[in-house]
Structure 1
Amino acid sequence: MHDKENELELERELHELPIIYQWEIIRCDFGNTLRWVISIGLPFFGYSFLLLLIQDMDAAPVLFLIGLIMIFVIRYLFLSDNQYCYFLTQKGIHFTIEQVIPEIAYKVMRGFAWFGVAVSFLAVTIIGPMAFVGAGACALLSFKMTGFESKISKSYILFSDEYTLFDIRKEDTFAIISHPYDLYASYEWLFYFPNDREEIKKNLLSVFRKSRYIEINHPKEIDNYGPFESSENLSINNANS
Protein backbone atom coordinates (compact mmCIF):
# COMPACT_ATOMS: atom_id res chain seq x y z
CA MET A 1 0.00 0.00 0.00
CA HIS A 2 1.02 3.65 -0.08
CA ASP A 3 0.91 6.80 1.96
CA LYS A 4 0.07 10.34 0.87
CA GLU A 5 3.70 11.49 0.96
CA ASN A 6 4.68 8.68 -1.40
CA GLU A 7 1.84 9.57 -3.75
CA LEU A 8 2.94 13.22 -3.90
CA GLU A 9 6.49 12.14 -4.70
CA LEU A 10 5.25 9.88 -7.50
CA GLU A 11 3.13 12.72 -8.90
CA ARG A 12 6.19 14.99 -9.03
CA GLU A 13 8.21 12.30 -10.82
CA LEU A 14 5.34 11.69 -13.22
CA HIS A 15 5.64 15.19 -14.70
CA GLU A 16 9.43 15.11 -14.83
CA LEU A 17 9.87 11.78 -16.63
CA PRO A 18 10.23 11.57 -20.43
CA ILE A 19 7.03 11.06 -22.38
CA ILE A 20 6.92 7.54 -23.86
CA TYR A 21 3.82 8.08 -25.95
CA GLN A 22 1.12 10.72 -26.35
CA TRP A 23 -2.21 10.94 -28.09
CA GLU A 24 -5.24 13.19 -28.22
CA ILE A 25 -8.90 12.90 -29.07
CA ILE A 26 -11.87 15.24 -29.43
CA ARG A 27 -15.20 13.88 -28.30
CA CYS A 28 -18.49 14.57 -26.56
CA ASP A 29 -20.98 12.19 -24.96
CA PHE A 30 -23.78 13.66 -27.12
CA GLY A 31 -24.09 13.70 -30.91
CA ASN A 32 -23.96 17.06 -32.69
CA THR A 33 -27.62 16.94 -33.79
CA LEU A 34 -28.81 16.05 -30.29
CA ARG A 35 -26.80 18.90 -28.79
CA TRP A 36 -28.45 21.45 -31.08
CA VAL A 37 -31.90 19.98 -30.35
CA ILE A 38 -31.28 20.36 -26.62
CA SER A 39 -29.78 23.84 -27.01
CA ILE A 40 -32.73 25.11 -29.04
CA GLY A 41 -35.44 23.14 -27.25
CA LEU A 42 -34.71 24.16 -23.66
CA PRO A 43 -34.84 27.96 -24.21
CA PHE A 44 -37.82 27.64 -26.57
CA PHE A 45 -40.00 25.74 -24.10
CA GLY A 46 -38.74 27.76 -21.14
CA TYR A 47 -39.51 31.17 -22.56
CA SER A 48 -42.70 29.99 -24.28
CA PHE A 49 -43.93 28.97 -20.85
CA LEU A 50 -42.89 32.35 -19.41
CA LEU A 51 -44.68 34.17 -22.24
CA LEU A 52 -47.88 32.21 -21.57
CA LEU A 53 -47.52 32.99 -17.89
CA ILE A 54 -47.23 36.76 -18.27
CA GLN A 55 -49.58 36.90 -21.31
CA ASP A 56 -47.95 40.03 -22.73
CA MET A 57 -46.97 39.83 -26.42
CA ASP A 58 -44.95 43.03 -26.07
CA ALA A 59 -42.42 40.91 -24.19
CA ALA A 60 -42.02 38.43 -27.08
CA PRO A 61 -39.09 40.21 -28.82
CA VAL A 62 -37.20 40.57 -25.54
CA LEU A 63 -37.77 36.93 -24.59
CA PHE A 64 -36.73 35.85 -28.09
CA LEU A 65 -33.41 37.69 -27.78
CA ILE A 66 -32.79 36.23 -24.32
CA GLY A 67 -33.65 32.76 -25.65
CA LEU A 68 -31.24 33.24 -28.58
CA ILE A 69 -28.44 34.02 -26.14
CA MET A 70 -29.25 30.93 -24.09
CA ILE A 71 -29.10 28.70 -27.20
CA PHE A 72 -25.43 29.55 -27.73
CA VAL A 73 -24.66 29.43 -24.01
CA ILE A 74 -26.02 25.87 -23.74
CA ARG A 75 -24.44 24.66 -26.98
CA TYR A 76 -20.96 26.10 -26.60
CA LEU A 77 -20.57 26.18 -22.82
CA PHE A 78 -22.47 23.20 -21.44
CA LEU A 79 -22.47 20.90 -24.50
CA SER A 80 -19.14 21.69 -26.15
CA ASP A 81 -16.65 19.15 -27.50
CA ASN A 82 -13.75 18.28 -25.22
CA GLN A 83 -10.17 17.73 -26.34
CA TYR A 84 -8.28 15.14 -24.30
CA CYS A 85 -4.46 15.14 -24.47
CA TYR A 86 -2.76 12.15 -22.84
CA PHE A 87 0.95 11.87 -21.98
CA LEU A 88 2.21 8.41 -21.02
CA THR A 89 5.33 8.06 -18.87
CA GLN A 90 6.91 5.19 -16.98
CA LYS A 91 5.14 6.24 -13.75
CA GLY A 92 1.69 6.94 -15.15
CA ILE A 93 -0.32 9.28 -17.37
CA HIS A 94 -0.90 13.00 -17.00
CA PHE A 95 -3.54 14.58 -19.20
CA THR A 96 -5.51 17.73 -19.91
CA ILE A 97 -9.15 18.27 -20.85
CA GLU A 98 -10.06 21.44 -22.74
CA GLN A 99 -13.34 22.65 -24.16
CA VAL A 100 -13.20 22.96 -27.94
CA ILE A 101 -14.91 26.22 -28.80
CA PRO A 102 -14.52 27.99 -32.19
CA GLU A 103 -12.85 31.40 -31.97
CA ILE A 104 -15.87 33.02 -33.61
CA ALA A 105 -17.99 31.62 -30.77
CA TYR A 106 -15.88 33.53 -28.24
CA LYS A 107 -16.53 36.81 -30.03
CA VAL A 108 -20.22 36.11 -30.59
CA MET A 109 -20.76 34.98 -26.99
CA ARG A 110 -19.00 38.00 -25.52
CA GLY A 111 -21.05 40.28 -27.75
CA PHE A 112 -24.28 38.49 -26.83
CA ALA A 113 -23.28 38.62 -23.18
CA TRP A 114 -22.99 42.41 -23.09
CA PHE A 115 -26.13 42.70 -25.17
CA GLY A 116 -27.86 40.28 -22.81
CA VAL A 117 -27.08 42.50 -19.84
CA ALA A 118 -28.83 45.42 -21.51
CA VAL A 119 -31.75 43.29 -22.73
CA SER A 120 -32.28 41.78 -19.28
CA PHE A 121 -32.61 45.17 -17.62
CA LEU A 122 -34.83 46.34 -20.47
CA ALA A 123 -37.08 43.31 -19.88
CA VAL A 124 -37.73 44.48 -16.34
CA THR A 125 -38.97 47.86 -17.56
CA ILE A 126 -41.22 46.33 -20.23
CA ILE A 127 -42.59 43.27 -18.41
CA GLY A 128 -42.45 44.57 -14.86
CA PRO A 129 -41.65 42.76 -11.60
CA MET A 130 -42.59 39.35 -13.13
CA ALA A 131 -39.39 39.55 -15.19
CA PHE A 132 -37.04 39.75 -12.21
CA VAL A 133 -36.65 35.97 -11.96
CA GLY A 134 -35.90 35.27 -15.62
CA ALA A 135 -34.23 38.53 -16.58
CA GLY A 136 -32.26 38.74 -13.34
CA ALA A 137 -30.85 35.26 -13.81
CA CYS A 138 -30.00 36.02 -17.43
CA ALA A 139 -28.27 39.26 -16.42
CA LEU A 140 -26.07 37.45 -13.91
CA LEU A 141 -25.22 34.78 -16.46
CA SER A 142 -24.52 37.43 -19.10
CA PHE A 143 -22.07 39.19 -16.76
CA LYS A 144 -20.28 35.88 -16.33
CA MET A 145 -20.21 35.24 -20.07
CA THR A 146 -18.46 38.55 -20.83
CA GLY A 147 -15.25 36.75 -19.88
CA PHE A 148 -16.18 33.67 -21.92
CA GLU A 149 -13.23 31.35 -22.62
CA SER A 150 -12.52 27.62 -22.73
CA LYS A 151 -11.56 25.85 -19.54
CA ILE A 152 -8.57 23.53 -19.20
CA SER A 153 -8.50 20.95 -16.44
CA LYS A 154 -5.51 18.80 -15.55
CA SER A 155 -5.37 15.36 -13.99
CA TYR A 156 -3.15 12.31 -13.73
CA ILE A 157 -3.09 8.55 -13.19
CA LEU A 158 -0.30 6.95 -11.15
CA PHE A 159 0.63 3.41 -12.08
CA SER A 160 0.86 0.62 -9.53
CA ASP A 161 2.36 -2.84 -10.16
CA GLU A 162 -0.73 -4.67 -11.41
CA TYR A 163 -3.45 -3.60 -13.81
CA THR A 164 -6.33 -4.91 -15.83
CA LEU A 165 -6.75 -3.01 -19.08
CA PHE A 166 -10.31 -3.21 -20.38
CA ASP A 167 -10.89 -2.35 -24.02
CA ILE A 168 -14.52 -1.19 -24.36
CA ARG A 169 -14.81 -1.63 -28.11
CA LYS A 170 -18.25 -0.12 -28.72
CA GLU A 171 -17.24 3.11 -26.98
CA ASP A 172 -13.63 3.42 -28.21
CA THR A 173 -12.46 3.62 -24.62
CA PHE A 174 -9.85 1.95 -22.42
CA ALA A 175 -10.55 1.49 -18.72
CA ILE A 176 -7.56 0.77 -16.50
CA ILE A 177 -8.12 -0.64 -13.03
CA SER A 178 -5.35 -1.08 -10.49
CA HIS A 179 -4.80 -4.10 -8.27
CA PRO A 180 -5.75 -3.54 -5.51
CA TYR A 181 -8.73 -1.55 -6.70
CA ASP A 182 -8.54 2.27 -6.42
CA LEU A 183 -4.85 2.37 -5.52
CA TYR A 184 -3.81 6.00 -6.26
CA ALA A 185 -7.40 6.47 -7.50
CA SER A 186 -6.31 4.63 -10.63
CA TYR A 187 -9.66 3.88 -12.20
CA GLU A 188 -9.80 5.96 -15.34
CA TRP A 189 -11.33 6.14 -18.80
CA LEU A 190 -8.90 6.67 -21.66
CA PHE A 191 -10.57 7.64 -24.93
CA TYR A 192 -9.07 6.93 -28.34
CA PHE A 193 -9.67 7.12 -32.07
CA PRO A 194 -10.02 3.61 -33.56
CA ASN A 195 -6.94 4.09 -35.76
CA ASP A 196 -4.79 4.73 -32.66
CA ARG A 197 -6.11 1.80 -30.65
CA GLU A 198 -3.38 -0.78 -31.24
CA GLU A 199 -0.52 1.67 -30.69
CA ILE A 200 -2.01 2.97 -27.44
CA LYS A 201 -2.69 -0.56 -26.23
CA LYS A 202 0.89 -1.66 -26.97
CA ASN A 203 2.44 1.28 -25.14
CA LEU A 204 0.15 0.99 -22.12
CA LEU A 205 0.87 -2.69 -21.64
CA SER A 206 4.60 -2.13 -22.07
CA VAL A 207 4.78 -0.03 -18.88
CA PHE A 208 2.57 -2.18 -16.66
CA ARG A 209 4.70 -4.56 -14.62
CA LYS A 210 1.84 -7.04 -14.37
CA SER A 211 -1.18 -6.85 -16.59
CA ARG A 212 -4.24 -8.41 -18.10
CA TYR A 213 -5.93 -7.27 -21.30
CA ILE A 214 -9.66 -7.94 -21.71
CA GLU A 215 -12.00 -6.88 -24.52
CA ILE A 216 -15.58 -6.05 -23.58
CA ASN A 217 -18.52 -4.31 -25.23
CA HIS A 218 -20.02 -2.31 -22.35
CA PRO A 219 -18.61 -0.73 -19.16
CA LYS A 220 -21.05 -2.72 -17.00
CA GLU A 221 -19.17 -5.89 -17.95
CA ILE A 222 -16.19 -4.71 -15.86
CA ASP A 223 -17.99 -5.77 -12.69
CA ASN A 224 -17.93 -9.37 -13.89
CA TYR A 225 -14.13 -9.49 -13.51
CA GLY A 226 -13.81 -8.19 -9.94
CA PRO A 227 -12.69 -8.12 -7.22
CA PHE A 228 -9.44 -6.53 -8.38
CA GLU A 229 -7.01 -7.74 -5.76
CA SER A 230 -3.27 -8.26 -6.02
CA SER A 231 -2.47 -11.56 -7.69
CA GLU A 232 0.63 -13.50 -8.63
CA ASN A 233 -1.25 -15.07 -11.53
CA LEU A 234 -0.92 -12.06 -13.83
CA SER A 235 1.70 -12.27 -16.55
CA ILE A 236 4.64 -9.92 -16.19
CA ASN A 237 4.98 -7.58 -19.18
CA ASN A 238 2.45 -9.60 -21.08
CA ALA A 239 -1.16 -9.15 -22.15
CA ASN A 240 -3.40 -12.12 -21.70
CA SER A 241 -6.51 -12.11 -23.85
Structure 2
Amino acid sequence: MNLTQEEKAKIESAPILYEWETLGYIERRIRIVRLILSITIFFFFLGCAIYTELYITFIILAIVMSFGTQFFMLADYQYHYYLTRYGYYYTSYQKVPEFGYKLTAIFMVLGVIVAIVGTMVVGPMAFVGGGMFLLTGILGKGLPLGPDMTRNYGKINPEFKYVMFVIIKQRRLSIKTDPLRTRENIYLNYPEAQKEKIISVFSKILSNPETYRLKDEDDYYEHPKFKELMKNKVE
Protein backbone atom coordinates (compact mmCIF):
# COMPACT_ATOMS: atom_id res chain seq x y z
CA MET A 1 0.00 0.00 0.00
CA ASN A 2 1.50 3.32 -1.10
CA LEU A 3 0.94 5.96 1.57
CA THR A 4 2.06 9.56 1.75
CA GLN A 5 4.60 10.68 4.33
CA GLU A 6 1.79 12.50 6.16
CA GLU A 7 -0.28 9.30 6.35
CA LYS A 8 2.71 7.31 7.61
CA ALA A 9 3.49 9.95 10.23
CA LYS A 10 -0.15 9.94 11.38
CA ILE A 11 -0.08 6.16 11.89
CA GLU A 12 3.25 6.22 13.72
CA SER A 13 2.41 9.17 15.97
CA ALA A 14 -0.82 7.60 17.26
CA PRO A 15 -0.67 5.58 20.52
CA ILE A 16 0.18 1.91 19.96
CA LEU A 17 -2.84 -0.18 20.86
CA TYR A 18 -1.07 -3.50 20.49
CA GLU A 19 2.18 -4.95 19.17
CA TRP A 20 3.52 -8.42 18.50
CA GLU A 21 6.30 -10.37 16.80
CA THR A 22 6.12 -13.43 14.60
CA LEU A 23 7.96 -15.36 11.91
CA GLY A 24 6.88 -15.02 8.31
CA TYR A 25 7.62 -18.51 6.99
CA ILE A 26 5.86 -20.77 9.46
CA GLU A 27 4.61 -23.54 7.18
CA ARG A 28 6.33 -26.88 7.70
CA ARG A 29 6.34 -27.66 3.98
CA ILE A 30 8.36 -24.52 3.23
CA ARG A 31 11.00 -25.54 5.75
CA ILE A 32 11.15 -29.01 4.19
CA VAL A 33 11.55 -27.59 0.68
CA ARG A 34 14.32 -25.29 1.91
CA LEU A 35 16.17 -28.21 3.52
CA ILE A 36 15.82 -30.43 0.43
CA LEU A 37 17.08 -27.62 -1.81
CA SER A 38 20.13 -27.05 0.41
CA ILE A 39 20.98 -30.78 0.44
CA THR A 40 20.53 -31.02 -3.35
CA ILE A 41 22.89 -28.09 -3.95
CA PHE A 42 25.45 -29.61 -1.58
CA PHE A 43 25.54 -32.98 -3.36
CA PHE A 44 25.48 -31.34 -6.80
CA PHE A 45 28.73 -29.47 -6.15
CA LEU A 46 30.14 -32.50 -4.34
CA GLY A 47 29.47 -34.54 -7.48
CA CYS A 48 31.25 -31.90 -9.55
CA ALA A 49 34.23 -32.21 -7.20
CA ILE A 50 34.47 -35.96 -7.88
CA TYR A 51 34.53 -35.63 -11.66
CA THR A 52 36.84 -32.60 -12.03
CA GLU A 53 40.34 -31.68 -10.97
CA LEU A 54 39.07 -28.62 -9.12
CA TYR A 55 37.78 -30.73 -6.26
CA ILE A 56 38.83 -28.32 -3.52
CA THR A 57 36.98 -25.44 -5.18
CA PHE A 58 33.79 -27.47 -5.61
CA ILE A 59 33.92 -28.84 -2.06
CA ILE A 60 34.12 -25.27 -0.77
CA LEU A 61 31.29 -24.26 -3.12
CA ALA A 62 29.18 -27.17 -1.85
CA ILE A 63 29.54 -25.98 1.74
CA VAL A 64 29.11 -22.27 1.03
CA MET A 65 26.17 -22.56 -1.39
CA SER A 66 24.18 -25.01 0.74
CA PHE A 67 24.79 -22.83 3.78
CA GLY A 68 23.84 -19.69 1.86
CA THR A 69 20.60 -21.24 0.59
CA GLN A 70 19.54 -22.40 4.04
CA PHE A 71 20.48 -19.34 6.09
CA PHE A 72 20.67 -16.40 3.64
CA MET A 73 18.57 -16.68 0.48
CA LEU A 74 15.66 -18.59 2.06
CA ALA A 75 15.99 -17.50 5.68
CA ASP A 76 12.83 -16.85 7.70
CA TYR A 77 11.59 -13.29 8.06
CA GLN A 78 10.99 -11.87 11.52
CA TYR A 79 8.10 -9.38 11.73
CA HIS A 80 7.31 -6.86 14.46
CA TYR A 81 3.84 -5.31 14.14
CA TYR A 82 2.56 -2.08 15.70
CA LEU A 83 -1.19 -1.46 15.61
CA THR A 84 -2.77 2.00 16.05
CA ARG A 85 -6.25 3.39 15.49
CA TYR A 86 -5.26 4.77 12.07
CA GLY A 87 -3.54 1.65 10.78
CA TYR A 88 -0.45 -0.39 11.41
CA TYR A 89 3.21 -0.55 10.52
CA TYR A 90 5.73 -3.33 10.84
CA THR A 91 9.44 -3.94 10.55
CA SER A 92 10.86 -7.07 8.96
CA TYR A 93 14.26 -8.65 8.44
CA GLN A 94 15.67 -12.04 7.57
CA LYS A 95 16.71 -14.05 10.61
CA VAL A 96 20.21 -14.83 9.45
CA PRO A 97 22.34 -16.31 12.27
CA GLU A 98 24.95 -13.89 13.58
CA PHE A 99 27.77 -16.23 12.61
CA GLY A 100 26.52 -15.96 9.01
CA TYR A 101 27.41 -12.28 8.89
CA LYS A 102 30.80 -13.04 10.44
CA LEU A 103 31.38 -15.71 7.81
CA THR A 104 30.59 -13.19 5.09
CA ALA A 105 33.17 -10.80 6.52
CA ILE A 106 35.77 -13.61 6.63
CA PHE A 107 35.19 -14.47 2.97
CA MET A 108 35.51 -10.79 2.05
CA VAL A 109 39.05 -10.85 3.47
CA LEU A 110 39.94 -14.33 2.22
CA GLY A 111 38.78 -13.44 -1.28
CA VAL A 112 41.54 -10.87 -1.66
CA ILE A 113 44.24 -12.76 0.27
CA VAL A 114 43.81 -16.09 -1.56
CA ALA A 115 43.81 -14.43 -4.98
CA ILE A 116 46.93 -12.33 -4.31
CA VAL A 117 48.99 -14.94 -2.46
CA GLY A 118 47.95 -17.71 -4.84
CA THR A 119 49.05 -15.68 -7.85
CA MET A 120 52.42 -14.93 -6.27
CA VAL A 121 53.13 -18.55 -5.34
CA VAL A 122 51.42 -20.61 -8.04
CA GLY A 123 50.89 -18.13 -10.83
CA PRO A 124 47.83 -17.02 -12.84
CA MET A 125 46.29 -20.50 -12.64
CA ALA A 126 45.68 -19.86 -8.94
CA PHE A 127 42.70 -17.75 -9.99
CA VAL A 128 40.96 -20.93 -11.17
CA GLY A 129 40.89 -22.26 -7.62
CA GLY A 130 40.91 -18.92 -5.84
CA GLY A 131 38.37 -17.27 -8.10
CA MET A 132 35.49 -18.43 -5.91
CA PHE A 133 37.04 -16.70 -2.90
CA LEU A 134 37.65 -13.53 -4.89
CA LEU A 135 34.10 -13.49 -6.26
CA THR A 136 32.67 -14.08 -2.77
CA GLY A 137 34.80 -11.24 -1.46
CA ILE A 138 33.66 -8.82 -4.17
CA LEU A 139 29.98 -9.75 -3.80
CA GLY A 140 30.30 -9.70 -0.03
CA LYS A 141 31.08 -5.99 -0.07
CA GLY A 142 27.46 -5.34 -1.03
CA LEU A 143 26.01 -7.57 1.68
CA PRO A 144 24.91 -6.08 5.01
CA LEU A 145 26.97 -7.27 7.96
CA GLY A 146 23.84 -7.21 10.08
CA PRO A 147 20.06 -7.48 9.64
CA ASP A 148 18.71 -5.34 6.79
CA MET A 149 15.47 -4.07 8.32
CA THR A 150 12.59 -2.70 6.24
CA ARG A 151 9.41 -0.90 7.34
CA ASN A 152 5.93 -1.14 5.79
CA TYR A 153 2.59 0.53 6.50
CA GLY A 154 -1.12 -0.17 6.21
CA LYS A 155 -3.97 2.32 6.62
CA ILE A 156 -7.38 1.78 8.24
CA ASN A 157 -10.16 3.99 6.88
CA PRO A 158 -12.99 4.54 9.41
CA GLU A 159 -15.42 5.20 6.56
CA PHE A 160 -15.02 1.71 5.09
CA LYS A 161 -16.75 -1.49 6.07
CA TYR A 162 -14.36 -4.42 6.66
CA VAL A 163 -14.46 -8.22 6.58
CA MET A 164 -11.92 -10.21 8.61
CA PHE A 165 -10.77 -13.74 7.75
CA VAL A 166 -8.83 -15.72 10.37
CA ILE A 167 -6.79 -18.40 8.57
CA ILE A 168 -5.95 -20.76 11.41
CA LYS A 169 -3.45 -23.21 9.88
CA GLN A 170 -1.25 -20.51 8.37
CA ARG A 171 -1.79 -18.17 11.35
CA ARG A 172 -2.75 -15.23 9.18
CA LEU A 173 -5.31 -12.48 9.17
CA SER A 174 -6.76 -11.23 5.90
CA ILE A 175 -8.83 -8.07 6.34
CA LYS A 176 -10.60 -6.70 3.28
CA THR A 177 -12.92 -3.81 2.59
CA ASP A 178 -16.52 -4.49 1.58
CA PRO A 179 -16.84 -3.75 -1.33
CA LEU A 180 -13.26 -4.70 -2.13
CA ARG A 181 -10.73 -1.93 -2.67
CA THR A 182 -7.57 -3.64 -3.87
CA ARG A 183 -5.21 -1.10 -2.26
CA GLU A 184 -6.84 -1.22 1.16
CA ASN A 185 -6.30 -4.86 2.08
CA ILE A 186 -4.59 -5.91 5.32
CA TYR A 187 -2.70 -9.18 5.29
CA LEU A 188 -0.49 -10.14 8.23
CA ASN A 189 0.77 -12.96 10.45
CA TYR A 190 0.03 -13.55 14.12
CA PRO A 191 1.49 -15.81 16.86
CA GLU A 192 -0.94 -18.44 18.13
CA ALA A 193 -0.65 -17.32 21.76
CA GLN A 194 -1.81 -13.78 20.89
CA LYS A 195 -4.42 -14.62 18.27
CA GLU A 196 -7.54 -13.78 20.29
CA LYS A 197 -6.10 -10.53 21.60
CA ILE A 198 -5.14 -9.36 18.10
CA ILE A 199 -8.58 -10.27 16.74
CA SER A 200 -10.22 -8.42 19.63
CA VAL A 201 -8.21 -5.23 19.07
CA PHE A 202 -8.83 -5.28 15.33
CA SER A 203 -12.55 -5.86 15.90
CA LYS A 204 -12.77 -2.71 18.01
CA ILE A 205 -10.82 -0.58 15.55
CA LEU A 206 -12.82 -1.85 12.57
CA SER A 207 -16.19 -1.45 14.36
CA ASN A 208 -17.05 -5.15 14.65
CA PRO A 209 -16.35 -6.41 11.12
CA GLU A 210 -17.82 -9.60 9.70
CA THR A 211 -15.43 -12.29 10.95
CA TYR A 212 -14.88 -15.74 9.49
CA ARG A 213 -12.60 -18.41 10.98
CA LEU A 214 -11.23 -20.79 8.37
CA LYS A 215 -9.09 -23.91 8.65
CA ASP A 216 -6.56 -23.12 5.91
CA GLU A 217 -5.98 -21.06 2.77
CA ASP A 218 -7.89 -23.47 0.55
CA ASP A 219 -11.03 -22.74 2.56
CA TYR A 220 -10.21 -19.04 2.38
CA TYR A 221 -10.07 -18.85 -1.40
CA GLU A 222 -13.18 -21.01 -1.76
CA HIS A 223 -15.23 -19.12 0.84
CA PRO A 224 -18.45 -17.55 -0.58
CA LYS A 225 -17.71 -14.20 1.08
CA PHE A 226 -14.23 -14.06 -0.42
CA LYS A 227 -15.64 -14.78 -3.88
CA GLU A 228 -18.29 -12.12 -3.35
CA LEU A 229 -15.66 -9.53 -2.46
CA MET A 230 -13.52 -10.44 -5.47
CA LYS A 231 -16.54 -10.08 -7.70
CA ASN A 232 -17.50 -6.66 -6.30
CA LYS A 233 -14.24 -4.77 -6.81
CA VAL A 234 -14.48 -1.00 -6.97
CA GLU A 235 -10.95 -0.30 -8.23
**TM-score interval w.r.t. the shorter chain?**
0.7 to 0.9
Q: Measure the CA separation in 1 of the matches of 2:202 and 2:134.
A: 48
Q: Measure the CA separation in 1 of the matches of 2:126 and 2:200.
A: 64
TM-score, length basis structure 2: 0.76
Partner of 2:95: 100
Q: CA deviation at 1:149?
A: 2.7
Q: Does 1:73 align with 2:68?
A: yes
Q: CA RMSD in A?
A: 3.2
Q: Measure the CA separation in 2 of the matches of 1:95 and 1:74.
A: 25
Q: Measure the CA separation in 2 of the matches of 1:216 and 1:63.
A: 48
Inter-CA distance 145–211: structure 2 relative to 1 (3 Å threshold):
same
Q: CA deviation at 1:195?
A: 1.1
Check the 8 A contact 2:18/2:83 in 1, yes or no: yes
TM-score, length basis structure 1: 0.74
1:125 maps to amino acid: M
Q: Does 1:156 align with 2:157?
A: no
Aligned-residue sequence identity (percent) comes to 20
Q: Measure the CA separation in 2 of the matches of 1:120 and 1:172.
A: 49
Alignment length (residue pairs): 216
Q: 1:208 aligns with which of 206, 224, 234?
A: 206
Check the 8 A contact 1:97/1:152 in 2, yes or no: yes
Q: Measure the CA separation in 2 of the matches of 1:43 and 1:142.
A: 21
Q: 1:171 aligns to what SS in structure 2?
A: coil
What runs of 5+ residues in structure 1 fail to find an aligned partner? 231-241
Q: Measure the CA separation in 2 of the matches of 1:117 and 1:71.
A: 23
Check the 8 A contact 2:107/2:136 in 1, yes or no: no
1:76 maps to amino acid: F
What runs of 5+ residues in structure 2 fail to find an aligned partner? none
Q: Does 1:167 align with 2:173?
A: no
Partner of 1:182: 181
Q: CA deviation at 1:165?
A: 0.9
Q: 1:149 aligns to what SS in structure 2?
A: coil
Q: Measure the CA separation in 1 of the matches of 2:125 and 2:186.
A: 51
Q: CA deviation at 1:186?
A: 2.7
Q: C-alpha deviations, 1:42-68, integer Å up to 9, x for none? A: 14314634764xx32xx1012111222
* Greater displacement, 95-104 / 138-147: 138-147
Check the 8 A contact 2:115/2:126 in 1, yes or no: no
Q: Measure the CA separation in 2 of the matches of 1:19 and 1:151.
A: 24
Inter-CA distance 47–120: structure 2 relative to 1 (3 Å threshold):
farther
Inter-CA distance 74–115: structure 2 relative to 1 (3 Å threshold):
farther
